[in-house]
Amino acid sequence: MLMNITQEKASELYAEYSPYIHRTALLLTKSLALADDITQEVFLQVFKKFEQYDQSKPIKPWLYTITVNTTRNFLRKQKWLSFVGILPEKNGAWLEETILKTEEEKELWMEIQKLNQNHKEIIVLHFYSGLKLQEIADILQIPLGTCKSRYHAALTALRKVYKPATKGENLYEII
């Protein structure tokens, strides 16, 4: 199964990037079971297609591209399964207890979950995964202008519905 990647390199990649990939999948799906499945699927894809990776470029955006695309596929499948009446386990309470520490973070997270998928991806990748807008545009395979537009639309939508309890705080300080 490992084409142009050694067992050692595969172990290194998994050890270094699996927490980031798992966290991104968890934040996008809000399901621990789906995040586990997505993480495994992402690394299967990485190992299968490693020879296609351009080693002159950083690997993190390539991994996030695979993560976002795999997450989208899983969410599409989940919508189909819910249509037929089979629902995977959701574990949002665990997510909120472990990742989101303060009450304000929890409130903001609830509002982020209400955003459409395009806006949610931008917010999660930028604020929770720490990627720059150019990197996000590359990962999502969209023009930088589209990425910026979605970013600003998401922030505008959040500002309309979310009012921080502490005066002087803004979305950047809480996220």
Q: What is the pLDDT of residue 133?
A: 93
Q: What's the rounded Cα separation, in Å, for the pair 70 and 76?
A: 10
Q: What is the pLDDT of residue 87?
A: 46
Count the Cβ atoms, other than its own, within 10 Å of residue 163.
8
Q: Which fold has domain 1-99?
A: Rna Polymerase Sigma Factor; Chain: A (1.10.1740)
Q: What is the pLDDT of residue 54?
A: 87
2-38 per-position pLDDT tens digit: 347 888 989 999 999 999 999 989 888 888 888 999 9
Mean pLDDT in each 10-residue stretch from start to end of the chain (175 residues)? 72 93 88 90 92 88 91 76 46 50 73 89 87 90 94 92 60 52
Q: What's the rounded Cα separation, in Å, for the pair 81 and 37?
A: 15
Q: What is the pLDDT of residue 36?
A: 93
Q: What is the pLDDT of residue 175?
A: 53
**How many degrees, rounded to 5, is the angle at CA 97 between CA 26 and CA 67?**
10
- State pTM to two decimals: 0.61
Q: What is the pLDDT of residue 106?
A: 74
CATH 1.10.3720.10 for the 101-175 domain, yes or no: no
Sign of CA dihedral 117, 94, 66, 127: positive
Let me know if the fold of 1-99 is the same as that of 101-175. no
Q: Where are the domains of the chain?
A: 1-99, 101-175
Ramachandran sector of residue 136 (left: φ over 0; alpha: ψ -120 to 50; beta: rest): alpha
The string over 28-43, giving b where at least 16 C-beta atoms fall within 10 Å of a residue's C-beta and e elsewhere, is: bbbbbebbebbbebbb
